[in-house]
Structure formats: C-alpha cells, structure tokens
Amino acid sequence: MTTPELASRAEQLSLNDNFIYVDEATGSDDAGTGTKEVPYKTAATAVGIIASMPQEKQSSFKIAVKKGEEYGEITASALKKAKKGYELSLKKAKKQAEQAAKDQTQLERKAAEEQQRLEDSKKVVLTEDSSLPKATTIKIAEAIDYRDQRVRVFGWVNRLRVQGRDMMFVVLRDGTGYLQSILSERLCHTYEALTLTLESTVALTGVVQKVPAGKDAPGGHELIVDYWEVVGRAPGGDDAVTNRISSDADPSLLYQQRHLVIRGDTASAVLKVRSRVMRAFRDHFDSKGYFEVTPPCMVQTQVEGGSTLFSFNYYGEEAYLTQSSQLYLETCLPSMGAVYTMAESYRAEKSSTRRHLSEYTHCEAEIPFITFEELLDGIEEMVKDVVARVWAEPTTRAMIEQLNPKFCPPTEPFVRMRYADAITWLNEHGIKREEDGKDFEFGDDIPEAPERRMTDTINKPILLTHFPGPIKAFYMPATKEDPRVTESVDLLMPGVGEITGGSMRIWDYADLKAAYEREGLDTAPYYWYLDQRKYGSCPHGGFGLGIERFLAWLTDRFTVKECCLYPRFVGRCQP
C-alpha cells in the first residue's frame, strides 16, 4: 500500500475509537478499514496508517489484535516487529518507485530513439540498380523454374520477421504459393520497411536461390531481394489483421470476417482443393461422355418437399429457388444422353448441424437406360476416380495431406447395406431412438447422429440402399421384389455421414401421375416433367452429391461451413 493510500485511509478513521483493529485470520489490508467490522490483516499496515497521520494525532491511536474471540492491545514485541515490517515495506516501495521511474525513462528514451529512427528512415530512398539484369515478372509457383535468375514477384505479406536492424524475413503469398524473401542492410532501413505490416501488398525484386543445406523454406528456395516497393499498405495497430481475426475467436466473428479468414493458410488450402475437386468431377464426367448443362435456379416446382423451399415474388407469381436440378436434367436425356450439372441448390430448412447449409454446390447427374446396380457402381466409381485424380496432382495432394494427414484414397469396394439391415445394426449395437429411447423400427427415418455413429463404427464408405417409400421422394420407384422399399441409395462417409443421395426414377406415366396424387401435388406445373414419360420414356436414374460434404470428408473439416467461400445458413447471409 502506497504512502498516499495510507494517508487517505488515516483521514477516514473515526476519533471516537482510538484503536485500529487487526485480524490476521479474516482481515484484509486491501479492503479493510481498521474497524472491528472490517479489520486489517497485518499490524504492519496499521503501523503505516498511524505513521501517516499528523504528528499530534499519532499518540491517540493504538493497535488491537484479535486473539481467539477477543481483541487485545498489541504486545511490545509484536509492535516492534510490525514497525520493522512497515519500514521494510517503505524501502521496498521506494525501490519499486525508483525502478518504475527508471523503466519509464528508458521507455521514453527508446520511444524517442524509435521516432528519430523513423524520421531518419524517411530520408532513405531506394533506387533499382540499372546495372543488374532486367527482372522477369513471375508467379510464385513458377519460382522453381527461375532459380539463380533475377525476378519480380507481387503479393501479400503473409508472415514477417525482423532480425536486428539489418535483416527482415518476409514470406510472400500470391495465391499460387508462398515465397520466403530476405531483405538486408539498406533495404531494411526505409520508412516502408520499418512500418511494414502483415497483409500489405509489395513488389519484391531479386534472385531466386536454393536454400542452404539444413535450412527449410516453401519450395526449397528463397528470394534474395535487391529492390522492393510497397504497393498497398495494410493498417497496423488496433486495426491490424491479427486484431481482426484469430484462430481462437468465436465462430460467429470468424464468419463475419470471412473475407479475411480465407487469406489464412488453412482456409485458402480448402478453397484451392475445392477448385481442383470440382475440376476433377467435370473431368470424370467428360471421360464418361456426359454433357454438362446449366438448369435454371428460379423454378415453380418442388423436388424435395415444400417445407424447405425459399419462395419469392416472380413478377406477381410465386416462385422458388431450386432445391435440385434433377427434374430439368431428366428432360435432357432424350437429346443429350447422360448429363450432369455443378450448380447451387437451396434448402430453407432451419437446421444448425455441422453438415447443413442453406445454399450449397450440388453435383447432379442423370443417366438413361441403366439398372439400379449400374447406378450404384457408377456412384462408387465416380468417388474413387475423383479422389484418384486430385491425389495424382502433387500440389493438390500436398494440400490434402496438410489438411488431413491420415487420409488414404478408398480402394476397397464400398460396403453395400440395405436400410432394413441398418435398422438391425442399430438395434444390435444398442443405439436407440432419441425421442422415446426405444429400438428403431422399419419405416423410421434414421436421424443424422445414429447414422453417423454407424458409419464411423464401420469406418468404410457405405452405399445404404432400399429405403421405404414414405421417407423418400415421390419420384423413386418401388422395387419389384418388395413394394415397401424403393430403388434408392445414400452414400455415407466416415466423419461426415451422407454425402450423396440417388435413385432410379419412376419412368411409367401412370405410375408417376399416381405418385403426384399420393403426395397431393398439382400436376399442372409439372406438365413438362410428365411429358418425359409420355414421349418415349426409358428406365433411368441419377444422384446428387454435396460438394461441401465431399470436401469435409476429403479434408477432414469439422463442418461443411468451412468448405465453401461464404457459407449461408440460418442467421448468416453476410458478407
């Protein structure tokens, strides 16, 4: 306690009671007032209170120490000890004050020196040495082809480390890769160098050199800079990017600052893998002779049930954002054969699970003249082929291994399990229905958690087939051997659950019209879909795969919200 604080407390003491009370068991030197009700903890504090009083008042006060249940005047030896403790505290406080003053002086001197250094740095002007070879402007990914050559690279400051006054390490990012760059001597003395911040954009010129033996850097090389410029300076201080986002920040804040989050190593790697995955899907379909089509996203029909439709006013008529492009893909079969699309689908379901989005990228395909078994084979082959394609690209594989070190491309045949067998599996493993704690029964729609638990336990991709008609879409046909179930399939992946849903489609006109009637749907808006069964129908099937769920499995992301650029879900439509 400082001397001014002691004096302030001394003024508050009442002259009606000439004792200052001390209770070593329950008192407090910080919160105490020296009364019986709120005593001090130590006699040294009481001595300090008395010493801070005017001289004429000091003899009026004595110290009472609690012993047992009663207070008694302090003994002479205890008082002597307390005075010694108080004197030591004064010396300690004085020493601390002197040290604080010394530290403050040093801080002020350093601040003045730093300010002077900044002022001096403004006089340092860099000029490019015209005697050096002309620099070739390259992307970072090309650096390996330009070793021992002079190049110019543009990018963002991804990492920054200052070593003394004469050396700086800058890891540059340009979207194609990362490049460690070394600035030394005069290059570090400019005002731009002293005030350089993360996420600033710069142009670095120098020679690409292989890193020395025993050293490590992205790509195995580094740029020895001989000239550089700031293109766009990012703010520092309170508005620095590191103060806007951090890895341990609340998820809602990270979603709000998603435009900055995607600059990070992990988020950008996920988005780059996504780009390659989407290309791999297109390459797969192209290799099979499929044509890509782009159906409308503004529709007046439903595919997956009316409760999940986003509706809007379309020039005075009610319309919706598409739940699926399936119906439109089916119309292309007679003219284009097998077709696919990579388009956005929308579901207005108020689900906050880690695998649901209100807007997601839907890879959908429809194939004519196939059987259900051929459909299952095609889904399995597609997943394996897409993984094999991205795995064969060294850069993409490196990013997948960075994100999901334990990933191994699937090679064994996928497990094929009927819905009825899944019900049996859940009951045999003691997994109950959440709503009543009872066993699952045939006809139950298996919720996400039990389904995922089963998938994670089996730990292999599962083609779950033959779902009961009432829990599936109206266009799925019943099997001939058991009319209770449909020719339908969900592909389940460990760690994620369902990533694909598919089925054969009802291809008989009368059967499809009866399905509409069962669902209570007006057939008028679907006239064009019914016409497909009227003008030369055929057995056909298809599926839809959620790209974000596929990526969550491939890159081991906790939620699909990490697998798209700007996720849209309940409560989030920004940025």
pLDDT at 287 over 90: yes
What are the C-alpha distances in Å from 443 to residues 28, 420, 426, 446, 469?
69, 9, 14, 9, 9
Task: Decide if 80 contacts 118 (C-beta within 8 A).
Answer: no
pLDDT at 16 over 50: no
* pLDDT above 90 coverage of the chain, percent: 66
Mean pLDDT along residues 251-274: 93
Query: 221-232 and 178-184: which strand pairing?
Result: parallel
Average pLDDT, the chain: 90
pLDDT at 280 over 50: yes
Mean pLDDT along residues 474-498: 94
Least confident of 31-45, 126-140, 164-178: 31-45
pLDDT for residue 203: 97
Q: What is the CA radius of gyration of the chain?
A: 37
What pLDDT band is residue 260 in, cutting at 50, 70 and 90? very high
511's CB contacts (< 8 A; 6+ apart) are 477
What pLDDT band is residue 8 in, cutting at 50, 70 and 90? low
Render pLDDT for 103-128 as a digit per residue (tens, 0 to 9): 888 888 887 877 787 788 888 889 99
Render pLDDT for 296-313 as a digit per residue (tens, 0 to 9): 999 988 876 666 889 999
CA-wise closest residue to 170 among 348, 179, 394: 179
pLDDT at 532 over 90: yes
pLDDT for residue 14: 47
What pLDDT band is residue 1 in, cutting at 50, 70 and 90? low
Could you tell me the pTM of the whole model? 0.81
pLDDT for residue 15: 40
Render pLDDT for 176-224 as a digit per residue (tens, 0 to 9): 999 999 999 999 999 999 999 999 999 999 999 999 888 889 999 999 9
What are the C-alpha distances in Å from 396 to residues 268, 276, 384, 499, 538?
12, 7, 16, 21, 40
Mean pLDDT along residues 493-503: 94
